[in-house]
Amino acid sequence: MITITTQVNGVPRQLSVRPNQLLLEVLRDDLNLRGAVEGCGVGVCGSCTVLLDRKPISSCLMLAANVDGREITTIEGLGSGETLDPVQQAFLDHQAFQCGYCTPGMIMAVKGLLYRNPRATVDEIADYLSGNVCRCGTYLEVMRAARAVIAAQVETTG
């Protein structure tokens, strides 16, 4: 077993992980954070997306041992108390989900987009989110939600 120190959703954690244990397994099985889910197991569907130092990653491909000293944010870490994160709220407002299985990963990808490119254009949004599959096909609504968050953010920050 390997001991790692990490921050998960702002909470410092010391975790004992197996050398071959994936970050997704640690989150789901050891920390009971089950919003991120496995969709493909090979890092192309985006269902397991979490933020590692504010960058979206596929937690199904990341060894837990590699997140030592780094900061993880999962869907459970968004918002505070009863208040949703603006991205979550935008997904709700725009009905940007159907079965919901991809939604936590999709929302985390949008969070990552906002950190990286807070004024992303439609084409940039589509390109950035192309690694997050929604098999229900809710892409138009996800686009509307992402654009709404970006527009609101641009308005506040000028």
Q: Which positions lie near another protein, rule CB under 8 A? A: 28, 33-42, 44-45, 47, 74-76, 78-79, 84, 88, 91-92, 95, 97-104, 107, 122, 125-127, 129-143
Kindly state the smallest distance separating residue 136's Cβ from another protein, in Å: 5
Summary count for the chain: helices (H), strands (E): 5, 5
Kindly state the smallest distance separating residue 91's Cβ from another protein, in Å: 6
How many angstroms separate the CA atoms of 41 and 111, rounded? 22
H helices of the chain, in order, are: 23-25, 86-93, 103-116, 122-128, 139-157
C-alpha distances in Å from residue 82, one per residue of 51, 89, 114: 22, 11, 22
DSSP class of 99? S
Output 6 or 88, the one with its CB closest to another protein. 88
Output 25 or 68, the one with its CB closest to another protein. 25
Output 10 or 158, the one with its CB closest to another protein. 10
Using only the alpha carbons of the chain, give its radius of gyration: 15
Kindly state the smallest distance separating residue 119's Cβ from another protein, in Å: 18
Kindly state the smallest distance separating residue 102's Cβ from another protein, in Å: 5
